[in-house]
Amino acid sequence: MRIFVTGASGWIGSAGVAELLKAGHQVVGLARSDASAAKLEANGAEVRRGDLDDLDGLRAAAADSDGVIHLGYKHDFSPAGMAGAAATDRAVIEAVGDALAGSGKPFVIASGALGTASGRPATENDRPEGTGHPRIASAQATLALADRGVRSAIIRFAPTVHGRGDHGFVAALVDIARRTGVSGYPGDGGNRWSAVHVLDAGALVRLVVEQATPGSIWHAAAEEGVPTRAIAEAIGRALDLPVRSVPNEHFDWLSRFFPMDMPVSSEITQATLGWKPVQPSLIADLDAGSYT
């Protein structure tokens, strides 16, 4: 297939593009900078210059493809920034949906597992509700495209997509530990974070665009839940720092997320698509020095 990918030079996008190319697909990646374009070309992908605000360009690229994978997002964790990023995301999804309507072509977007379930592991059968993070409305809009003849699907990624070169949540926790001189965990450290290695995540992106049914949800979570105390202990070992329980405020902007209990199951995804995570675990990555 000829697949148009937004966020193609990003963290998950780079892994997904590599998987698609290895499987024989043709990839057209959206690039807003010379550096992103050069990276895509070096990896063997075709480049389409533009950004997420160029809705006409996105419609044209989608219409010229056999499928679309939307991984690009304006990450801003301030209240105003989150609302603006979600609005841009929704506009992109509507534009691509219009271009693909009635075609039966796949349209896959990235979403998150944050707040999907409470008191138990989230499953693929949990449908997104219009509360919590404003990005959830994008997931709802994507799933609704199944009624317009689009093979739409969402991938809910674990909050930690780890590996060497990651600049996400775990990298932020490492930076906080360096700066404060302590590797902390919230409460008793029993709350859990799901995790997936970026290369396993990339493999799932390919499987979903190839196999997903209309209006489906899939989970990129290789580990259902890693206790935050275990994460803090691994960071402490890597940096030779003391490990202890700390107030939530210790985690700066992460104080809104790290104390949450967020186990995520991928049992249905693995059984249905044949996805088998094979890469190192989060703790193994930390112990191997991937973040130090």
Neighbours of 276 (CB within 10 A): 9
**In this predicted model, what pLDDT tens digit does every residue of 242-276 receive, in sequence order?**
999 999 999 999 998 899 999 999 999 999 999 99
Position 122 scores a pLDDT of 93
Position 79 scores a pLDDT of 57
Q: Let me know: does 183 contact 233? Beta carbons within 8 Å.
A: yes
Confidence of residue 115 (pLDDT cuts 50, 70, 90): confident
Locate 29 and state its tokens: 């990646």
Position 84 scores a pLDDT of 76
DSSP tag of 88? H
Mean pLDDT for 264-289 is: 97
Confidence of residue 118 (pLDDT cuts 50, 70, 90): confident
pLDDT surpassing 80 at residue 133: no
Tell me the helices (H) and strands (E) count for the chain, helix number first: 10, 12
Residue of 56, 88, 54, 58 lying closest to 73 (CA atoms)? 88
- Across-strand partners of 107? 68, 152
CA distances from 214 to 23, 55, 105, 122, 148 (A): 22, 23, 9, 20, 10
Q: Exposure string (b/e) for 68-80, b if CB count within 10 Å is 16 or more?
A: bbbbbbeeeeeee
pLDDT surpassing 90 at residue 192: yes
Tokens 């010229």 belong to 64
| DSSP reduced 3-state for 115 | coil
pLDDT surpassing 60 at residue 93: yes
Whole-prediction pTM value? 0.93
Query: d(Cα 251, Cα 274) in Å, to the nearest integer?
Result: 37
Half-sphere exposure of 243 (CA within 13 A, CB side): 18
Give the domains, in start order, of the chain with CATH numbers. Answer: 2-160+196-220 (3.40.50.720), 163-195+225-262+280-287 (no CATH)
**In this predicted model, what pLDDT tens digit does every residue of 199-240 receive, in sequence order?**
999 999 999 999 999 999 999 999 999 999 999 999 999 999
Query: d(Cα 57, Cα 99) in Å, to the nearest integer?
Result: 11
Query: d(Cα 284, Cα 163) in Å, to the nearest integer?
Result: 10
Query: d(Cα 281, Cα 196) in Å, to the nearest integer?
Result: 7
Position 17 scores a pLDDT of 97
Q: Let me know: does 4 contact 30? Beta carbons within 8 Å.
A: yes
- Across-strand partners of 2? 26
pLDDT surpassing 90 at residue 158: yes
**In this predicted model, what pLDDT tens digit does every residue of 42-89 receive, in sequence order?**
999 999 999 999 999 999 999 999 999 999 987 665 556 667 788 899
pLDDT surpassing 80 at residue 173: yes
Compute the mean pLDDT over every residue in the chain, rounded to the nearest whole number: 93
Query: d(Cα 65, Cα 99) in Å, to the nearest integer?
Result: 10
Confidence of residue 18 (pLDDT cuts 50, 70, 90): very high
Confidence of residue 282 (pLDDT cuts 50, 70, 90): very high
